[in-house]
A and B are shown apart, each in its own frame.
Chain A
Amino acid sequence: MSTITEIAILVLAAFVGFEVISKVPNTLHTPLMSGTNAIHGIVLLGGLLLMHDAHGVLEHVLLVIAITFGTINVIGGFFVTDRMLGMFKRKDPPKAEEQEVE
Chain B
Amino acid sequence: MTLLAAINHNITDGLYIIAFALFIYGMSGLTGPRTAVRGNLIAAAGMAIAFISTLLRPHVFSGSSTPWLMALGLVLGIGIGIPAARNVRMTAMPQMVALFNGVGGGAVALIAWIEYRHHFLSGGSNWALKSEIPSLIAAIIGSISFWGSNIAFGKLQEILPGRPIKVPGQTFVNLGLLVVAVASAVILAAGTHSQALFILGILVAAALLGNMVVLPIGGADMPVVISLLNAFTGLSAGLTGIALNNTALIVAGMIVGASGTILTNLMAKAMNRSVPAILAGGFGGEVAAPAAGDTDRGPVRSTSSQDVAIQLSYARQVVIAPGYGMAVAQAQHAVRELERALEAKGVEVKFAIHPVAGRMPGHMNVLLAEADVPYDLLREMDEINPEFSRTDVTLVIGANDVTNPAAKNEPGSPIYGMPILEVDKSGSVIVLKRSMASGFAGIDNPLFYDPKTAMLFGDAKQSVSEITAEVQAL
Task: Name A's B-contacting residues (CB within 8 A).
Answer: 1, 3, 6-7, 9-10, 13-18, 20-55, 59-60, 62-93, 97-98, 101
Q: Which residue of the partner chain, among B33, B60, B61, B118, contacts A54 with CB atoms under 8 Å?
A: B118
Q: Given A20-B259, A55-B121, A97-B376, do A38 and B100 touch, yes or no (CB 8 Å)?
A: yes
B162 at the interface (CB under 8 A from A): no
Set of chain A residues within 8 Å of B175, measured between Cβ atoms: none
How many residues of B sit at the interface, in one of the four size bands?
A: 35 or more
Do A25 and B33 have beta carbons less than 8 Å apart? yes
Q: Which residue of the partner chain, among A32, A42, A65, A93, contacts B237 with CB atoms under 8 Å?
A: A42
Set of chain B residues within 8 Å of A6, measured between Cβ atoms: 241-242, 245, 247, 250
Closest 7 CB pairs of A and B: A71-B77, A17-B258, A67-B73, A76-B81, A27-B362, A13-B254, A79-B85
Set of chain B residues within 8 Å of A13, measured between Cβ atoms: 238, 250-251, 253-255, 258
Do B74 and A92 have beta carbons less than 8 Å apart? no
Set of chain B residues within 8 Å of A78, measured between Cβ atoms: 40, 43-44, 47
Do A17 and B254 have beta carbons less than 8 Å apart? yes
Set of chain A residues within 8 Å of B23, measured between Cβ atoms: 39
Bound Cα distance from A59 to B80, whole angstroms: 22
Set of chain B residues within 8 Å of A30, measured between Cβ atoms: 93-94, 97, 223, 360-363
27 contacts between A and B (CB under 8 A): A6-B241, A10-B250, A13-B251, A15-B258, A16-B258, A20-B28, A26-B355, A28-B31, A33-B260, A34-B100, A40-B237, A41-B47, A45-B248, A46-B107, A46-B111, A46-B240, A53-B122, A54-B118, A59-B118, A68-B77, A70-B73, A73-B81, A77-B85, A82-B37, A84-B90, A87-B370, A88-B365
Set of chain A residues within 8 Å of B63, measured between Cβ atoms: 51-52
- Minimum C-beta distance from B17 to chain A (A): 11
Q: Most B CB atoms within 10 A — which of A15, A23, A35, A65?
A: A35
Set of chain A residues within 8 Å of B435, measured between Cβ atoms: none
Bound Cα distance from A10 to B237, whole angstroms: 11
Set of chain A residues within 8 Å of B111, measured between Cβ atoms: 43, 46-47, 50, 63, 66
Bound Cα distance from A84 to B360, whole angstroms: 12
Bound Cα distance from A83 to B369, whole angstroms: 12
Do B130 and A43 have beta carbons less than 8 Å apart? no
Do B36 and A28 have beta carbons less than 8 Å apart? yes
Do B369 and A29 have beta carbons less than 8 Å apart? no
Q: Which residue of the partner chain, among A7, A15, A70, A85, contacts B36 with CB atoms under 8 Å?
A: A85
Do B249 and A39 have beta carbons less than 8 Å apart? no
- Minimum C-beta distance from B340 to chain A (A): 16
Q: Most A CB atoms within 10 A — which of B37, B107, B369, B376?
A: B107
Do A80 and B247 have beta carbons less than 8 Å apart? no
Bound Cα distance from A75 to B34, whole angstroms: 23
- Minimum C-beta distance from B51 to chain A (A): 7
**Cβ < 8 Å to A, chain B residues 63-95:** 63, 65-66, 69-70, 72-74, 76-78, 80-82, 84-86, 88, 90, 93-94
Do B230 and A29 have beta carbons less than 8 Å apart? no
Bound Cα distance from A101 to B59, whole angstroms: 64
B257 at the interface (CB under 8 A from A): yes
Do B73 and A65 have beta carbons less than 8 Å apart? yes
Could you give, for residues 112-151 of chain B, a 1 whenever the CB lies within 8 Å of some chain A CB and a 0 otherwise? Answer: 0111011001100000001000000000000000000000
Do B230 and A45 have beta carbons less than 8 Å apart? no
**Cβ < 8 Å to A, chain B residues 367-382:** 369-370, 374-376
- Minimum C-beta distance from A65 to chain B (A): 6
Q: Most A CB atoms within 10 A — which of B37, B100, B117, B121?
A: B100
Q: Given A18-B259, A28-B362, A30-B362, do A38 and B44 touch, yes or no (CB 8 Å)?
A: yes
- Sample of 7 further A-B pairs with CB below 8 A, known A66-B111, A68-B73: A22-B31, A26-B355, A46-B107, A46-B115, A52-B66, A66-B73, A75-B77
Could you give, for residues 225-242 of chain B, a 1 whenever the CB lies within 8 Å of some chain A CB and a 0 otherwise? Answer: 011001001100110111
Q: Given A20-B24, A52-B63, do A88 and B36 touch, yes or no (CB 8 Å)?
A: yes
Among B261-269, B401-409, B446-454, the stretch in contact with A: B261-269
- Minimum C-beta distance from B358 to chain A (A): 10
Q: Given A55-B118, A72-B84, do A10 and B44 touch, yes or no (CB 8 Å)?
A: no
- Minimum C-beta distance from B446 to chain A (A): 26
Set of chain A residues within 8 Å of B86, measured between Cβ atoms: 79, 83
Do A41 and B107 have beta carbons less than 8 Å apart? yes
